[in-house]
Structure 1
Amino acid sequence: MSLRGGAAGEAPRVSGVTLTSWNTRAEEGTAAAAESTYRLFATREGLAGGTTANGHVIAPHDHFAALPSRRMLASDGGREYTVRVCNGTRCETAPVWDVGPWNTGDDYWSPPSVRQMWNDPPQGRPEAQAAYQNGYNGGRDEFGRQVANPAGIYLADGTFWDALGMTDNGWVDVTFQPDGGTGTTVTAWADANVRSCAWRSCAVVGQVYAGTTFPALCRITGESVTAEGVTNDKWVRLPLPAGGVGYVSGIYLKGDATGGVTTPC
């Protein structure tokens, strides 16, 4: 970034710049989480009629999960980020629509080196669990509250009662799926911007870099983009590490026009 002063000699000012990229260690940790399963203590969220962190109004017997970080928060009604939760032989793949329990900056599924707030507990161990079982952080959460249980995931009533058959809070097996459970990845052959929609006039919300592989959700038709004499109007929707989704032109992806993504949005 280059800045120049104005004609009167005043100093340039920047109020803020936010970019997300897939070539950082944080993103390597997010991608790795797609293959990770952890044993976690789950609690029932309840709160029918309330509103989640992504704006979803909770319905009776709703089906979703909550994690204590916005780094895997899907949009209202979206499945950009999901978790597969199993209580014995009963399982459900649920979208992540809320933030909690206990903390709001504990992406414990990421490697300790890139966790938002807590880098002492090992990967897959929530801060609340470490606080409750081992007295970590004085036994308190990020807000200074005494942690009363080791919960690392909330489950909505429909997931908790109907899908998993749970009658009380307890331990479950959770597989993290930051690609929405599609299992699809794409690889960029060139550096490219990730935008808020499938059009070059849309805001830049991130970047991908040549040789980087990242999870993909689906494909969509958008603005035609030309590179090296080839024109392509296909774009790929991908989950953003900080939550939400972005779009990258398929022209910058290895393989066919959509980088191998076959699912339409």
Structure 2
Amino acid sequence: MIRIKKAGRVTAAVLAAGAVTALAGGPAQAATTTGASWPENVSTVDYDDVNVTAAGGTLTLADAAWHRTAQVFAGSEGSFTTAEHELATPANRVSAELSADTPKGTTVEVDVRGRTGVHDWTEWTPAGTAFKTTVSAVQARVSLHSDTDGLRPAVRGLRLSADSGPQANALAATTASTYKIFATREGLTGHTTANGHVITSRDHFVALPSGRGLSSKGSGTYSVRVCKTDNSRCEYAPVWDVGPWNTKDDYWNPASVRAEYKDLPQGQPEAYAAYHNGYNGGKDDLGYKVGNPAGIDLADGVFYDGLGMSDNGNLNVTYLWTGSGPTGVVSTAGDPMNVRASASTSAAIKGLAANYAKVTIECYVEGDTVTGKFGTSNIWDRIGPNNYVSDTYLQTGSDLPVAPHC
């Protein structure tokens, strides 16, 4: 991310990883190929934007005293996402030049992501950091923060540029990462999540302690499979909030790209190390004493209905966007759909797949004929071990099966 902490008016040209050094006038990493540069419109706030306004063409916090949830963000937080920008030539790095006013106690950060497929994007990464692969389109997310009620940062301009630097390789086929993680119930009906969603009773989403895997409102670009440790029940759900405890702990990533706590093992949340081992003095990244080892929060519908949980506990969590292969987006009238043990409407229910969740399609089989949102078909898709859903509820971009026959 670009993180501006200086008071006063700043114009930041961030050309590579190590944005703070670049801001201070240090050398920037040279690109191997120079690409296009374009200005972004920061004067029109849209559906995906959270607690920001663009009065007079200047982007700032709509409410400088808005606090989302306790022990998640200290101070006021807002975010603005640019429109998708198609690249004339594929690139693997997007840099940002930001013009902003940042009074003392306020910050502005810029993350970027790139499209790699019909429904697939890279994680949100700091502007100037090389992606693992080339991308065909990009978006930027501008995050504004104030530690003092009433003080607002202001963004006056944003210019992005795309090029190809080191590591511009094709992505190898990978299996999504799975870790055993302590999960807690989020609750908080009526509160607003980090992506602007207002939490409803028996809602179906999860929270992870980093914005790198945060889906926009009404999207499941970043989704997880959460299963009981015996795999008797699973739910597929989008990531719509940031938490528990930390805000920059993408623990599912290897140390080479993990934002913080690089000395911890991959797959171990900082909260686990703080709670069990006294790591970081037993505190999270906001200075709160960690009261449990949770690395994921579950909305009530996931907790009670999808998994049938009665208390917090360990789950097997699969971070679906970290893998590769054919995907589909669950599209229902709103409620989650049943996940079955086989391709039959009478087969045992193994859990739920939430609306908007993006799932990996391992293979397909023929089964009961179902009429769903995308027509009538006897095709069922296997989206996990002994987990089947009707293809008529998956948006895949094709009328034909997108995965091989099982």
Q: Distance in 1 between matches of 2:274 and 2:247?
A: 15
Instruction: Identify which of 45, 52, 72 aligns with 2:213.
Output: 72
After TM superposition, list the pairs within 5 Å mapping 1:6-155 onto structure 2: 14=12, 17=96, 18-19=127-128, 21-23=130-132, 35-87=176-228, 88=230, 89-155=232-298
Match of 1:263 in 2: 396
Distance 1:43 1:33, change over 3 A: farther
**Contact 1:126–1:152 under 8 Å retained in 2:** yes
Match of 2:310 in 1: 167
- Superposed CA RMSD in Å reads 3.1
Runs of at least 5 residues in structure 1 that lack an aligned partner in the other structure: 1-12, 186-215, 218-261
Instruction: Spell out structure 1 runs of 4+ moving beyond 2 A.
Output: 13-16, 18-28, 30-34, 181-185, 262-265
Q: TM-score by structure 1 length?
A: 0.60
Secondary structure, counterpart of 2:295 in structure 1: strand
Most deviating of 143-152 and 15-24: 15-24
Secondary structure, counterpart of 1:160 in structure 2: helix
Per the TM alignment, residue 74 of structure 1 is displaced from its structure 2 partner at its CA by 0.6
Per the TM alignment, residue 112 of structure 1 is displaced from its structure 2 partner at its CA by 1.5
Per the TM alignment, residue 183 of structure 1 is displaced from its structure 2 partner at its CA by 3.0
Q: Distance in 1 between matches of 2:210 and 2:315?
A: 19
Q: Distance in 1 between matches of 2:257 and 2:172?
A: 13
Per the TM alignment, residue 23 of structure 1 is displaced from its structure 2 partner at its CA by 3.1
| CA displacement 1:127-178 (0-9 Å, x = unmatched) | 0001111111111100111111000000000000011000111111101111
Match of 1:183 in 2: 325
| CA displacement 1:172-194 (0-9 Å, x = unmatched) | 11011116x88339xxxxxxxxx
Runs of at least 5 residues in structure 2 that lack an aligned partner in the other structure: 1-10, 15-95, 97-126, 134-165, 328-357, 360-394, 399-406
Q: How many percent identity over aligned positions?
A: 58
Q: TM-score by structure 2 length?
A: 0.40
Distance 1:31 1:182, change over 3 A: closer
Distance 1:152 1:32, change over 3 A: farther
Secondary structure, counterpart of 1:159 in structure 2: helix
Higher helix residue share: 1
